[in-house]
Structure 1
Amino acid sequence: MKLPKLGWVTFRWSRPPGGEIRSATVSRKGGHWFVSFLVNDGRQVPERHAMPGTAVGVDRGVKTAVVTCRW
């Protein structure tokens, strides 16, 4: 991929992006560099919560696809 001010750099995909890449964020942790992509997967956001007055948290992890918690 081509990064501003750095030029072309190589990287390894950990998983396919699953949609159109909108932006990328480069970070460094413990001497390692990481790239996070914001992806448009084409899904529509509902206009109204299915259960008004309640909250749902969604955690997208690398090993676990989706975990929901009801508060």
Structure 2
Amino acid sequence: MAPFLRPAPRVISRPIEALSFALVFTAALILRLATLGDDSLWIDEGYTLAAADLPLSTLWTVPFDTHPSCISRS
């Protein structure tokens, strides 16, 4: 049986490809690091925050709510 042959990894052969990759990577890194310390809420954290603000009598119904984005404060 012949062993499985893998193709050789593609090496960036042109300097413009390496420069383009480096510029895109650097821009992405700068954009990510610029907002790293900001407060943000993901959808599940926002839902938890909204549910935690509800009165206790309403809070018991939250696990049975099939439309979680419709939390009301009534």
The TM-score by the shorter chain falls in which range? under 0.3
Which protein has the bigger helix share?
Answer: 2
Q: Which has the higher Rg, Structure 1 or Structure 2?
A: 2
Higher share of residues assigned strand:
1
Query: TM-score, normalised to structure 2's length?
Result: 0.22
TM-score computed with the length of structure 1 as normaliser? 0.22
